[in-house]
């Protein structure tokens, strides 16, 4: 891979992917709608071409993808727009990749796995998602597999990291850094996975650089599952945060959802805070090598440092 296109480059995973690709001396085209945000993130980066555009505009996508080897699909739409936009966007990306002779690397989550009776979950686990969002993600997966485009589908758990603002943990971190009373979504005693975006990007780029990894699914787990109370303990130690943490229950989200379309869409995936899907990284470690495993303490320290620097600008 000499040149890559990252669509959704202004998001948390897009940002991490651009940085990882540049760190490997790969020329990157960073594509997103908001040029101002792209400039703020990448204007001082070497080997990054900033392209603002619309992923649903065929001409803009063709120009952006000209000469690229791999298209990293890292676009994340608001939950309330998933049904309307996700399939349509993937259809466009597949069409463009076919015409340009490029591969596709899809940033995916765990929703397509649905409820699983055993953990950790391997790539071959039966996928019968019960939620609308899980069914959308499974449809996307099947579309890629049925296309003529070589593709990677990489499953990640909940993410956190620099610039990862559309994540379940972000609001907690934001309020902690601002010294406000913070919320934590879900049971504080249940162990779940939170993956540092820098680790996620390292693993995904490593997969994308190889020829024998395409047309497969890959799981990339976090360093280990962790309970909310353990996360908060780490946050208190590294920030000296003293205020209480409010646990956000399903009932609270349902009530807020009466007035907020985005929160209304969160309700159906809250089962994951009680019945978490824990990913197995056995396939990756057997076929690729050791997974990147940044400790929660280091990942949170680096994320909060980034947030504090951004707040000063």
Tell me the sheet residues that pair with 185: 248
Number of domains within the chain = 1
* pTM across the whole model: 0.96
Q: 167 lies in a domain?
A: no
Alpha-carbon distance values, 89 to 7, 28, 73, 105, 246 (Å): 11, 20, 10, 14, 37
pLDDT in tens, 85-95: 999 999 999 99
- DSSP labels for 50-86? EEE--TT-HHHHHHHHTT-SEEEE-----GGGHHHHH
250's tokens: 């399903």
Q: Residue 262: what pLDDT?
A: 62
Q: 3-state DSSP: the chain helix, strand, coil percent, rounded to 5?
A: 45, 20, 35
* Number of other residues whose CB lies within 10 A of the CB of residue 291: 19
Which residues in 1-150 belong to E strands, given as ranges?
3-7, 27-32, 48-52, 70-73, 103-108
pLDDT for res 257: 57
- What pLDDT score was predicted for residue 260? 61
Residue 8 placed within a domain = yes
| Chain segment 236-292, per-residue pLDDT in tens | 999 999 998 999 877 777 776 555 666 677 788 989 999 999 999 999 999 999 999
Whether omega before 54 lies within 30 degrees of 0, making that bond cis, reads: no
pLDDT score of 266: 79
Facing residues of 107 across strands? Answer: 154
In a domain, 208, yes or no: yes
* Residue 51 within any structural domain of the chain: yes
Pairing assessment for the beta strands 70-73 and 3-7 based on DSSP bridges: parallel
In a domain, residue 252? The reply is no
Task: Check: CB of residue 13 under 8 Å from CB of residue 220.
Answer: no
CATH of the domain at 146: 3.40.50.720
**Is residue 288 within 8 Å of residue 216, measured between CB atoms?**
no
Q: What is the chain's pLDDT, residue by residue, as a tens digit (313 residues)?
A: 999 999 999 999 999 999 999 999 999 999 999 999 999 999 888 899 999 999 999 999 999 999 999 999 999 898 889 999 999 999 999 999 999 999 999 999 999 999 999 999 999 999 999 999 999 999 999 999 999 999 999 999 999 999 999 898 998 999 999 999 998 999 999 999 999 999 999 999 999 999 999 999 999 999 999 999 999 999 999 999 999 899 987 777 777 655 566 667 778 898 999 999 999 999 999 999 999 999 999 999 999 999 998 877 6
Q: Which domain holds residue 90?
A: 3-161+195-222+277-294
User: 257 in a domain, yes or no?
Assistant: no
Residue 92, in any domain of the structure: yes
229 falls within a domain:
no
Query: Tokens 């409820």 — which residue?
Result: 115
């Amino acid at each position: 891979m000499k040149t890559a296109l990252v669509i959704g480059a202004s998001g948390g995973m897009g940002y991490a992917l651009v940085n990882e690709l540049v760190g490997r001396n790969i020329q990157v085209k960073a594509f997103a709608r908001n040029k101002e945000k792209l400039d703020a993130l990448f204007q001082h980066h070497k080997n990054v071409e900033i392209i603002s555009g619309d992923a649903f505009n065929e001409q803009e996508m063709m120009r952006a993808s000209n000469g690229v080897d791999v298209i990293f699909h890292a676009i994340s739409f608001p939950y309330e727009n998933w049904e309307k936009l996700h399939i349509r966007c993937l259809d466009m990306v597949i069409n463009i990749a076919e015409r340009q002779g490029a591969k596709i690397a899809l940033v995916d989550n765990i929703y397509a796995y649905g409820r699983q009776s055993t953990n950790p979950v391997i790539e071959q686990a039966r996928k019968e998602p019960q939620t609308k969002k899980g069914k959308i993600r499974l449809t996307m997966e099947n579309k890629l597999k049925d296309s003529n485009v070589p593709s990677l589908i990489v499953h990640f758990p909940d993410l956190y990291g620099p610039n990862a603002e559309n994540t379940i943990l972000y609001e907690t971190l934001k309020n902690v850094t601002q010294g406000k009373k913070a919320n934590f979504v879900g049971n504080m005693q249940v162990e779940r996975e939170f993956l540092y975006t820098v680790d996620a990007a390292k693993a995904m780029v490593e997969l994308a650089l190889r020829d024998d990894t395409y047309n497969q699914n890959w799981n990339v787990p976090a360093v280990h599952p962790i309970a909310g109370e353990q996360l908060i303990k780490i946050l208190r130690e590294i920030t000296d945060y003293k205020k209480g943490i409010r646990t956000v229950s399903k009932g609270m989200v349902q009530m807020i959802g009466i007035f907020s379309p985005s929160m209304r869409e969160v309700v159906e995936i809250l089962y994951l805070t009680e019945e978490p899907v824990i990913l197995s990284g056995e396939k990756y470690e057997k076929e690729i090598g050791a997974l990147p495993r940044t400790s929660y303490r280091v990942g949170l320290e680096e994320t909060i440092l980034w947030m504090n620097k951004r707040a000063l600008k």
